[in-house]
Amino acid sequence: MFNKKDIKNIRNDFPILKKKINNHSLIYFDNSSTTQKPKILINKIKYYYYNLNSNIYRSDYYLSKKTTLFIDKCRKVIKNFINASSYKEIIFTKGTTESINLLSICLKKFFKKNDEIIITKLEHNSNYLPWNILCKKKKLKLKILDINNKFNISIKTLKKNLNKKTKLVSITHISNVFGTILPIKKIVNIIKNNNKKTLIILDGAQSIAHIPINVKDLNVDFFVFSAHKIYGPTGLGILYGKKNILKKISPYQYGGSMVKSISKKKNIYKNIPNKFEAGTINICSIYSFLYVINYINKLNINNINIYENKLTNYIKNLLLKNKNIILYGKNNIYSTSIISFNIKNINNFDVGNILNNYGISIRTGLHCSYLLFNYLKLNGTIRLSLGLYNNFDEINKFYFYLLKIINY
Ligand SMILES: Cc1ncc(COP(=O)(O)O)c(C=O)c1O
């Protein structure tokens, strides 16, 4: 468990938190969009370009050999962080979005006309559009499951929609709008009981920084996330896939570093993970991300989860005190770190703009979740999303200015 001193130390690790915005200390509540970066990351990026810069998997000289070792070390650290079976199951992409797009392209050959793909109304546009496009191209059916009044998946609806034609289910682990945690183990059991061969992709963009991840235990076939959502650099994504499935899939892009030999008759590609990493990958980000995961491991993801749950409950209880505030998912106990609400008769954009005057960064609008907002018939919400460096003082200040807006 973190105490006050721990949080103070953590806050000191994030230099941007000392910044003033409009003469107010920055209060950063938009961690679902992207998280702030610890000193260790910033220092390692500098170290990399001062000491290590070189291309990987290609050369036998000192720098290249050393850097290559770090890249595979990072795969191993990530493998342990999400409890994969092998570091070869860890593929580097440029983000969650690219990972899902990669899968939508590489899995194409597994589908035939009229096969079905299931997603939910909770999905981020990144977990809707690639499937929408694929279904149109290959004449597949895309089933988009409604959600229940707790902003979670309805098991009954899921069961109703599964059948022999269900080839793939791609779902979010945590809703980026409501913070709802989906009961993935239960969902996976139901899907695999319907058909063992149905593939399951779990979008971990919003879970990776907030709850422990164990892909073996969850028994999903793929797990995707972005490094920037967990205090790492932008432009780096991780695609975990079960080894036996990755081996069966053709590469996504073609170019340097992914091929063993070429000939008129046949190109022979490298094994996983390299066959999915054509060209020069984001070496510096991978190198520096290794240290971010070590940093999170030192703090312990369970401690982070306990602390963030306390902050989440504290905010929810404050918001519930005011009758002008509509808090979404207030009774939802299976949620974490993300709080969505509106204020009666005030546009959510205006609230965001006014809070910005006091140095408070929050997101308003549709949060890249168009399916959800069309379904709910809302023009957006005010969303607070927490990170491990947020504290109770920041929440109190935020609530103080929020009341000012309401009362004005
Ligand atoms: C649930 C979910 N999936 C996918 C994404 C896309 O992530 P990225 O923009 O890093 O590719 C996000 C980003 O907010 C998200 O919240």
Q: How would DSSP label each residue in 3-63? A: -HHHHHHHHHT-GGGG-EETTEE-EE-BTTT-----HHHHHHHHHHHHHT---SSS--SHH
CA distance 276 to 278: 6
> Given this model, what pLDDT does residue 329 score?
86
Q: Indicate the pairing of strand 259-261 with strand 116-120.
A: unpaired
Q: Which CATH architecture has domain 4-30+300-407?
A: Alpha-Beta Complex (3.90)
What are the DSSP E strand ranges found in 33-140?
A: 90-93, 116-120
Are 391 and 12 contacting, i.e. CB atoms less than 8 angstroms apart?
no
Rg value, the chain, Cα: 22
Are 212 and 181 contacting, i.e. CB atoms less than 8 angstroms apart?
no
CA distance 408 to 405: 5
> Given this model, what pLDDT does residue 1 score?
86
The reply to whether ligand 1 has any atom less than 6 angstroms from the CB of 226 is yes
CA distance 166 to 116: 5
> Given this model, what pLDDT does residue 335 score?
82
| Phi, then psi, of 167 in degrees rounded to 5 | -100, -25
Pocket perturbation via mutation, ligand 1, pick of 33, 93, 96, 229 by most ligand atoms within 8 A of CB: 96
Determine the distance separating the centroid of ligand 1 and the alpha carbon of 208, expressed in angstroms. Answer: 11
Nearest to 341 by CA among 385, 307, 309, 306: 385
| Claim: this prediction has a pTM higher than 0.75 | yes
The reply to whether ligand 1 has any atom less than 6 angstroms from the CB of 95 is yes
Residue 95 CA: which ligand 1 atom is closest? Answer: 11
Which one-letter DSSP state was computed for residue 325?
Answer: E
The reply to whether ligand 1 has any atom less than 6 angstroms from the CB of 127 is yes
Residue 358 contacts by C-beta under 8 Å, 6 or more apart in sequence?
22, 24, 27, 397, 401
CA distance 387 to 361: 13
Tokens representing 277 are 């990493």
Determine the distance separating the centroid of ligand 1 and the alpha carbon of 315, expressed in angstroms. Answer: 24
Pocket perturbation via mutation, ligand 1, pick of 94, 177, 206 by most ligand atoms within 8 A of CB: 206
Determine the distance separating the centroid of ligand 1 and the alpha carbon of 205, expressed in angstroms. Answer: 5
Determine the distance separating the centroid of ligand 1 and the alpha carbon of 177, expressed in angstroms. Answer: 11
Residue nearest to atom 7 of ligand 1 (CA): 96
The reply to whether ligand 1 has any atom less than 6 angstroms from the CB of 203 is yes
Domain ranges (residues) in the chain: 4-30+300-407, 44-298
Separation in Å, CA 296 to CA 2, 10, 70, 309, 328: 13, 11, 18, 17, 30
Using 70 as the pLDDT threshold, list the residues of the chain that sit under it. Answer: none
Determine the distance separating the centroid of ligand 1 and the alpha carbon of 124, expressed in angstroms. Answer: 7
The reply to whether ligand 1 has any atom less than 6 angstroms from the CB of 205 is yes
Are 130 and 147 contacting, i.e. CB atoms less than 8 angstroms apart?
no
> Given this model, what pLDDT does residue 298 score?
98
> Given this model, what pLDDT does residue 28 score?
98
- Burial of 215 (C-beta count, 10 Å sphere; 0-12/13-18/19+): buried
Residue nearest to atom 16 of ligand 1 (CA): 176
CA distance 336 to 334: 7
Bridge partners, 80 (sequence order): none
Residue nearest to atom 15 of ligand 1 (CA): 205
Pocket perturbation via mutation, ligand 1, pick of 124, 172, 213, 366 by most ligand atoms within 8 A of CB: 124
pLDDT (tens digit, 9 = 90+) per residue, 41-77?
Answer: 999 999 999 999 999 998 999 999 999 999 999 999 9
Residue nearest to atom 9 of ligand 1 (CA): 97
- Domain 44-298 grouped into CATH 3.40.640.10: yes
CA distance 10 to 2: 10
Residue 234 CA: which ligand 1 atom is closest? Answer: 10
Helix ranges (DSSP H) in 219-331: 243-248, 283-299, 301-320
Identify whether 284 is a catalytic site residue: no
The reply to whether ligand 1 has any atom less than 6 angstroms from the CB of 96 is yes
Residue 176 CA: which ligand 1 atom is closest? Answer: 16
Residue 33 CA: which ligand 1 atom is closest? Answer: 14
* Topology agreement, domain 4-30+300-407 and domain 44-298: no
Residue 94 CA: which ligand 1 atom is closest? Answer: 11
Determine the distance separating the centroid of ligand 1 and the alpha carbon of 371, expressed in angstroms. Answer: 14
* Residue reference for tokens 């190198």: 287
Determine the distance separating the centroid of ligand 1 and the alpha carbon of 210, expressed in angstroms. Answer: 14
Q: What is the largest CA-CA distance in the chain?
A: 74
The one catalytic residue in 106, 135, 284, 368 is 368
